[in-house]
Amino acid sequence: MRRKSNEIILGIDPGSRHIGFAVFRRGELDDYGIKSIKQNSHPKTIRKLASVIRNLIDLEGANVVAVEIPVTYQQKSSLVAVVVEKIKSLVISEFGKYVNLKVVDPRIVKKAICDELKPTKANMAKKLAELFPQLRPKLDLPNPGQTNYHARVFDAIAMAYYCVYLENELPLPNA
């Protein structure tokens, strides 16, 4: 397999309270987590978001940022849509010379990773946990709130994983 030696992909699953992130270095999952951005007003939340995104790009040294776009009507007309637009404008205006922005449709990613006609988030998470065993404990959390919280991580990993294979023009493996 051909890999770009300097490739660092930051996947982001945006939300109005938390963002999931994942980092792939040279094609391997290196880091992932959740960053809280919720503040007591929308302007403060957006400022916190900008700070978190800047810090992630700087800390991880990302040269590709993959952002999940909102696809449902509720997402498109909510704070999530504002968050996505802020991420896109920040990456382009502050990092445009050094960072390639990829705007990714989660429906396409789920189909590619799951190799199913109508994949679910749960099936995608299971497939990712097969590929990356360190994710298995995140699948069976007892508290549904924790599961939703960690779903952001799985989505961010999926965005970055998808771009790893697109950037390297490799077929998506099916585990």
> Spelled out in words, what is the top-level CATH class assigned to the domain 8-167?
alpha beta
What's the pLDDT score for residue 2? 46
pLDDT digits (tens, 9 = 90+) for 113-141: 888 878 888 888 888 988 888 888 888 76
Q: Is the pLDDT of residue 31 over 90?
A: yes
Q: Is the pLDDT of residue 13 over 90?
A: yes
Q: What is the CA radius of gyration of the chain?
A: 15
Mean pLDDT of the chain: 83
Helix H or strand E encompassing 110: helix 106-114
pLDDT digits (tens, 9 = 90+) for 56-92: 999 999 999 999 988 875 666 677 888 888 899 999 9
